[in-house]
């Protein structure tokens, strides 16, 4: 049963499922990085490599 | 842990960074780079003229090529990323590496593994899967050392004094977990003896697992860690934050999610089921976007500082490396289109593609890192800036010569191989007609490699002089100073406190959450591709039910193991694609069933010589013997190496029963009788072939010699499968 389902359903639509999964991840991340409070966080964290105490 | 609240516990702060380990990894990077490059030039020359192997079996192309790729990827690339990861992580996390013992175990363990590879590969001890050649005891060692690295990295992150985790570290975490997953899954094999094993997967399954591994080794060993390095060292070198941190987050998740699916683009137009090929194509094309997002992010960080790029060799290497990343990741999706792939696959075009990545992207990022780190770690100035400048130009011109010559060779040869005249016949029916046309380009390619190598030598000289020139007293005081960097803790704590709560902190600031999410991202693609493949292509499946496939006899199997040992698969494919050119030249396209008992699969990835999937019966035995003894006796312009030792070495049947029983366990339909009589049968068959050879006018005394097994195997190719 499962095998048949895999063969007849999944194979044909694997690309579709995959595309939607990716869209989910992509849009999710996009939404996430543009949240209201993101700016402060990112403007701090992007300067981490430049911290002079590191070298 | 203090970090979770954002309040920094100053008392606990451990100021000392471990830069000793960074120096060691950096030196190892430099040394192995030389070895990898030399081996590359040597392999290139061997293709231009077979005589470069000096007639020694340990130096033939089939054994040197894996050594070259392993040295370049795991020795040069590996040591380089470890140096960069250990250096940047300590600084980004403001803490010393978790455990000195683990660090040193990691370092020496890795060097020992490289040494083991350098010994076993020329001896022909190989699994016969590209970039996964090392045999099972070494696989276990790799897994242990890799886990030591992972623990060291994750524990360092856990004990950080900086509450936030910079994006470079995400790339490092993804590297660790994904490589662990890939390596373990592709290493599932059953040992036959100490240095011999068979993978549990066969044929199409093995092909898919192998290229899921192979492609993602490029993704997670040669891309994600290097992107982490890019996100750290470019901002450092230009003293500006990354262009867009938001973009880096999107870049990371898209890349990690998409990359894992793209493996099947190594198997286009083959017997791999269509749905899997389609997935591979779609995701490869999509991969272009996040890759370029990353490249643009790296390059835009340099905005307003391009004048610095002109004068600073570090930036030159980092920027050009990033541009090469952009080039390779543009070319990659292009090569994944089926029609382009028809031309490019199996040809030198692919060799051009990987060297754009390896020499341009990986090499240049690491060289930039070396020029950045050496003066800083030894607290001095670079000995000679213009020497570094010369290195850069030699390297760049070398790469261009390399790429252009291999593009030309690849496209020219494929066009010739696929050329059909008005009557529907091949214009160049003899494979060797296409070979002679590109041999001059093999010399040009070697020249490109040589230039790159000379540039590298300038770097070695520069580094040695820099270190020697570091004043001893200063170096000693630097050591003390380095041990106590003064941290501006109070101001930092203030900033952090205000942002250390909140959702971003929760999702982006905890290594465990990150690790779990990254694993989830790569598992989606892995499961959707591998599981249906494994359930749909087993012996009971429809695919195979239409065929009757004879398993190899014991002598043929022994011959197959010799074929793997000699690395014949590095020049010959065993996969007739569904393309017109392939079918006209080699016969009906290969069926999935043809390789259903092949542990490992031998579809190959490069045709320096013709496909062998249906070579069985094409020539008499004596032809093969004479051809292997000296291919030029039969095909005067051949560039195939001689294999004279096969006529001298005695066939080793010591483990043949065990080999049979392992394969039986893995599902190859051998009876208990077959297993019990494996050695006997092999001897009998070998004697029969030897007698026949004498009758045909061939040399005497070949019974029980390796050549009889190899010939028996070659004659079986394409003859085992019958339609029911």
Stretch 553-592 of chain B: residues touching chain A, C-beta under 8 Å: none
ipTM value > 0.95? no
- Which of B302, B482, B282 is closest to B378 using CA atoms? B482
Find, in chain B, the residue whose alpha carbon is nearest to that of A17. Answer: B528
Are A50 and B235 in contact by the 8 Å Cβ rule? The answer is: yes
> Is B198 in a helix, a strand, or coil?
strand
Nearest to B101 by CA among B31, B149, B38: B149
* pLDDT tens figures, B174-212: 999 999 999 999 999 999 999 999 999 999 999 999 999
B609: left (phi over 0), alpha (psi -120 to 50) or beta: beta
Residues whose CB falls within 8 Å of the CB of residue B56, separated by 6 or more in sequence, listed in order: none
Rounded Cα distance between B187 and B396, Å, is 37
Would you state the pLDDT for residue B471?
Answer: 75
- Helices B100-120 and B61-70, packing angle to 10 deg: 170
**Nearest Cα to B369, choosing from B70, B21, B31, B88?**
B88
Residue B502 near residue A36, CB atoms below 8 Å:
no
Contacts of B288 (CB under 8 A, 6+ apart): B329, B330, B332, B333
pLDDT of residue B595: 94
Instruction: List Cα–Cα distances, B300 to B37, B245, B292, in angstroms.
Output: 31, 12, 12
Asked if B275 and A41 come within 8 Å (Cβ–Cβ), the reply is: no
Q: How many domains does chain A have?
A: 1
State the average pLDDT over residues A5-25. 74
Which of A2, A14, A47 has the CB atom closest to B528's CB atom?
Answer: A14
pLDDT at B9: 43
Window from B31-35, B297-301, B423-427, B506-510 with minimum mean pLDDT = B506-510
Interacting residues of A51 by C-beta distance below 8 A, sequence separation 6+: B91, B94, B492
Residues of B in contact with A18 (CB under 8 A): 261, 279, 282-283, 525, 528
Distance CA B306, CA B205 (A): 49
Q: With CB atoms and an 8 Å threshold, state whether A29 touches B254.
A: yes
Average pLDDT value for residue range B569-591:
97
Residue A55 lies in a domain: no
Min Cα separation B37/chain A (Å): 31
- At residue B428, the pLDDT reads 97
Which chain B residue has the Cα nearest residue A41? B499
Q: What is the pLDDT of residue B487?
A: 44
The C-alpha of A25 sits at a distance from chain B's nearest C-alpha, in angstroms, of 7
Determine the Cα–Cα distance for residues B206 and B214; give it in Å rounded to an integer.
12
SS (H, E, C) B573-629: CCCCCCCHHHHHHHCCCCCHHHHCCCCCCCCCCECCCCCCCCCCCCCCHHHHHHHHH
Confidence of residue B593 (pLDDT cuts 50, 70, 90): very high
Q: What is the DSSP letter of B632?
A: G
Q: What does the block give as tokens for B127?
A: 């699994």
Residue B530: per-residue pLDDT: 84
Please report the number of interchain residue pairs, chain A to chain B, with beta-carbon separation below 8 angstroms: 125
Contact A35 B503 (CB under 8 A): yes
Alpha helices in B159-223 (DSSP H): 167-186, 203-221
Q: Are B336 and B280 in contact (CB under 8 A)?
A: yes
User: How are beta strands B189-193 and B721-723 bridged, if at all?
Assistant: unpaired
Instruction: List own/partner pairs for A5-14 with CB under 8 A and 24 or more apart.
Output: A6/B531, A6/B532, A6/B535, A6/B536, A7/B532, A7/B536, A10/B528, A10/B532, A11/B273, A11/B275, A11/B532, A11/B536, A12/B275, A14/B275, A14/B278, A14/B279, A14/B528, A14/B529, A14/B532
Q: Residue B480's pLDDT is what?
A: 44
More confident residue, B473 or B243: B243
Query: How many CB atoms within 10 Å of residue B360?
Result: 26
What is the reported pLDDT for B500? 56
Whole-number Cα distances in Å, B308 to B47, B305, B360, B394: 41, 5, 20, 20
What pLDDT was estimated at residue A15? 75
| pLDDT at A11 (0 to 100) | 62
Residues of A with CB under 8 A from a CB of B: 2-3, 6-7, 10-12, 14-15, 17-19, 21-22, 25-26, 29-30, 32-35, 37-38, 40-51, 53-55
Q: How many residues does chain A have?
A: 55
Query: Which pLDDT tens digit goes with each residue over B519-533?
Result: 888 888 888 888 877
Contact B245, B164 (CB under 8 A): no
Among B722, B575, B535, B379, CA closest to A10: B535
**pLDDT number for residue B510:** 72
Rounded Cα distance, B2 and B160, in Å: 9
DSSP B20-53: HHHHHHHHHHHHHHHHHHHHHHHHHHHHH-GGGG
* Residues in chain B closer than 8 A to A22 (CB atoms): 254, 257-258, 286
pLDDT average, residue stretch B535-563: 86
**Half-sphere exposure at residue A16, Cβ-oriented, CA atoms within 13 angstroms:** 5
Region B546-561: mean pLDDT is 95
Least confident segment among B350-359, B396-405, B480-489, B493-502 = B480-489
Mean pLDDT over each residue of chain B, to the nearest integer: 92
Residue B701 at interface with chain A, using a CB cutoff of 8 Å:
no
| Mutation to test the A interface, candidates B504, B519, B531, most A Cβ within 10 Å | B504
CATH classification code of B547-723: 1.10.760.10
Better-scored residue on pLDDT, B664 or A1: B664
pTM across the whole model: 0.93
Name the pLDDT band for B482 (thresholds 50, 70, 90): very low
pLDDT of residue B494: 43
Tens of pLDDT along B53-90?
999 999 999 999 999 999 999 999 999 999 999 999 99
3-state secondary structure B471-510: CHHHHHHHHHHHHCCCCCHHHHHHHHHHHCCCHHHHHHCC
Chain segment B261-312, per-residue pLDDT in tens:
999 999 999 999 888 898 899 999 999 999 999 999 999 999 999 999 999 9
CATH number of B7-520: 1.20.210.10
- Band (pLDDT 50/70/90 cuts) for residue B12 is very low
Place of tokens 């003229």: B49
Nearest chain A CA: its distance from B637 CA (Å): 46
Q: Let me know how many helices (H) and strands (E) chain A has, helices first.
A: 3, 0
Residues of A in contact with B525 (CB under 8 A): 18
The residue ranking higher by pLDDT, B81 or A24, is: B81
Q: How confident is the model at residue A14 (pLDDT cuts 50, 70, 90)?
A: confident
CA dihedral (A25, A29, A30, A32) positive or negative: positive
Of the candidates B533, B516, B530, B531, the residue with the CA atom closest to the CA atom of residue B178: B516
Which residue of chain A has the CA closest to B520? A25
Distance from C-alpha of B150 to C-alpha of B165, rounded to nearest angstrom: 16
- Banded model confidence at residue B44, pLDDT cuts 50, 70, 90: very high
The domain of A41 spans 2-47
Give dist(CA B46, CA B183) in Å, integer.
30
Give B-chain residues touching A48 at CB under 8 angstroms: 92, 162, 164, 166
Q: Is the pLDDT of residue A35 over 90?
A: no
- Other Cβ atoms within 10 Å of B520 Cβ, number: 12
Which H or E element spans position B549?
Answer: strand B547-549
- Nearest CA to B96 out of B175, B176, B22 is that of B22
B-chain residues within 8 Å CB-CB of A49? 88, 91-92, 166, 168, 231-232, 235-236, 241-242
Question: What's phi and psi for B269, nearest 5 deg?
Answer: 65, 20
Tell me what percent of the residues of chain B surpass a pLDDT of 90: 84
The answer as to whether A52 is a domain residue is no
Chain A's closest residue to B88, CA to CA, is A49
Domain extents for chain B?
Answer: 7-520, 547-723
A48 to B278: CB separation less than 8 angstroms, yes or no: no
Any chain A CB within 8 A of the CB of B15? no
The pLDDT assigned to B575 comes to 97
**Contacts with B441 (C-beta within 8 Å, 6 or more apart), sequence order:** B348, B405, B406, B408, B409
* Between B662 and B471, residue with greater pLDDT: B662
Q: Is B197 helix (H, G, I), strand (E, B) or coil?
A: strand
Decide if B365 contacts B318 (C-beta within 8 A).
Answer: yes
Which CA distances in Å does B334 have to B284, B416, B417?
A: 9, 21, 21
Residue from B241, B259, B231 nearest B88 by CA = B231
DSSP assigned state of B189:
E
Q: How far is A34 from chain B (nearest CA, A)?
A: 8
Mean pLDDT, chain A, integer = 78
Distance CA B356, CA B324 (A): 6
Nearest CA-CA partner of B599 in B278, B308, B205: B205
Indicate if the pLDDT at residue B4 is higher than 50.
no
Helix, strand and coil content of chain A, in percent to the nearest 5, comes to: 85, 0, 15
Which of B191, B189, B186, B31 lies closest to B114, judged by CA? Answer: B31
């Amino acid at each position: 049963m499962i095998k048949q389902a895999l063969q007849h359903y999944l194979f044909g639509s694997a690309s579709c499922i995959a595309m939607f999964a990716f869209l989910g991840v992509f849009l999710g991340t996009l939404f996430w990085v543009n949240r209201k409070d993101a700016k402060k966080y990112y403007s701090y964290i992007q300067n981490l490599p430049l911290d002079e105490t590191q070298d | 842990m203090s970090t979770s609240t954002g309040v920094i516990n100053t008392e606990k702060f451990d100021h000392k960074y471990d830069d000793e380990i960074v120096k060691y990894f950096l030196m190892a990077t430099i040394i192995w780079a030389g070895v990898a490059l030399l081996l590359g030039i040597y392999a290139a020359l061997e293709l231009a003229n077979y005589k470069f192997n000096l007639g020694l079996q340990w130096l033939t192309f089939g054994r040197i090529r894996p050594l070259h790729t392993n040295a370049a990827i795991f020795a040069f690339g590996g040591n380089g990323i470890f140096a960069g990861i250990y250096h940047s992580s300590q600084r980004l996390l403001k803490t010393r590496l978790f455990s000195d013992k683990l660090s040193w175990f990691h370092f020496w363990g890795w060097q020992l593994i490289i040494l083991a590879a350098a010994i076993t590969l020329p001896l022909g001890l190989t699994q016969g899967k590209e970039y996964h050649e090392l045999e099972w005891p070494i696989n276990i060692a790799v897994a242990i050392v890799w886990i030591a690295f992972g623990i060291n990295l994750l524990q360092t992150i856990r004990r950080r004094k900086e509450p936030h985790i910079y994006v470079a570290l995400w790339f490092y975490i993804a590297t660790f977990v994904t490589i662990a997953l890939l390596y373990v899954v592709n290493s599932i094999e059953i040992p036959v003896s100490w240095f011999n094993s068979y993978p549990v997967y066969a044929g199409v399954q093995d092909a898919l697992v192998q290229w899921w591994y192979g492609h993602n080794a490029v993704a997670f060993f040669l891309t994600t860690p290097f992107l982490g390095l890019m996100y750290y060292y470019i901002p450092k070198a230009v003293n500006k934050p990354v262009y867009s941190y938001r973009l880096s987050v999107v870049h990371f998740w898209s890349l990690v999610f998409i990359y894992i699916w793209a493996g099947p683009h190594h198997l286009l137009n083959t017997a791999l089921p269509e749905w899997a090929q389609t997935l591979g194509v779609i995701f490869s094309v999509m991969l272009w976007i996040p890759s370029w997002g990353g490249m643009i992010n790296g390059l835009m960080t340099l905005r307003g500082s391009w004048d610095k790029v002109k004068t600073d060799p570090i930036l030159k290497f980092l920027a050009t490396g990033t541009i090469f990343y952009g080039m390779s990741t543009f070319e990659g999706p292009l090569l994944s289109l089926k029609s382009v792939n028809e031309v490019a696959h199996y040809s030198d075009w692919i060799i051009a593609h990987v060297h754009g990545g390896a020499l341009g992207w990986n090499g240049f990022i690491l060289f930039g890192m070396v020029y950045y780190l050496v003066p800083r770690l030894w607290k001095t100035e670079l000995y000679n800036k213009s020497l570094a400048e010369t290195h850069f130009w030699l390297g760049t011109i070398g790469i261009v010569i390399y790429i252009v010559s291999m593009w030309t060779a690849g496209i020219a040869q494929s066009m010739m191989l696929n050329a059909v005249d008005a009557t529907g016949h091949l214009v160049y029916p003899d494979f060797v007609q296409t070979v002679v046309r590109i041999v001059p380009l093999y010399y040009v390619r070697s020249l490109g490699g040589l230039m790159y190598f000379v540039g590298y030598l300038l770097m070695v000289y520069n580094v040695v002089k820099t270190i020697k020139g570091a004043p001893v007293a200063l170096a000693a005081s630097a050591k003390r100073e380095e041990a106590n960097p003064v941290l501006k803790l109070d101001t930092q704590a203030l900033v952090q406190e205000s942002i250390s709560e909140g959702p971003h902190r929760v999702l982006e600031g905890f290594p465990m959450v990150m690790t779990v999410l990254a694993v989830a991202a790569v598992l989606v693609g892995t499961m959707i591709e591998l599981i249906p493949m494994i359930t749909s292509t087993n012996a009971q499946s429809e695919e195979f039910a239409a065929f009757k496939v004879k398993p190899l006899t014991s002598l043929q199997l022994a011959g197959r193991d010799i074929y793997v040992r000699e690395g014949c698969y590095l020049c010959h494919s065993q996969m007739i694609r569904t393309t017109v050119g392939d079918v006209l030249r080699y016969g009906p396209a290969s069926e999935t069933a043809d390789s259903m008992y092949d542990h490992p699969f031998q579809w190959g990835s490069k045709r320096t010589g013709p496909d062998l999937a249906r070579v069985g019966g094409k020539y008499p035995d004596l032809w093969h013997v004479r051809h292997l003894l000296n291919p030029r006796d039969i095909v005067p312009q051949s560039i195939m190496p001689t294999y004279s030792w096969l006529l001298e070495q005695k066939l080793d049947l010591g483990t043949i029963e065990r080999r049979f029983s392992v394969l039986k366990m893995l599902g190859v339909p051998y009876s208990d009788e077959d297993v019990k009589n494996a050695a006997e049968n092999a001897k009998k068959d070998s004697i029969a072939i030897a007698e026949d050879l004498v009758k045909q006018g061939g040399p005497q005394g070949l019974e029980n010699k390796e050549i009889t097994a190899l010939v028996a195997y070659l004659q079986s190719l394409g003859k085992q499968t019958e339609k029911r």
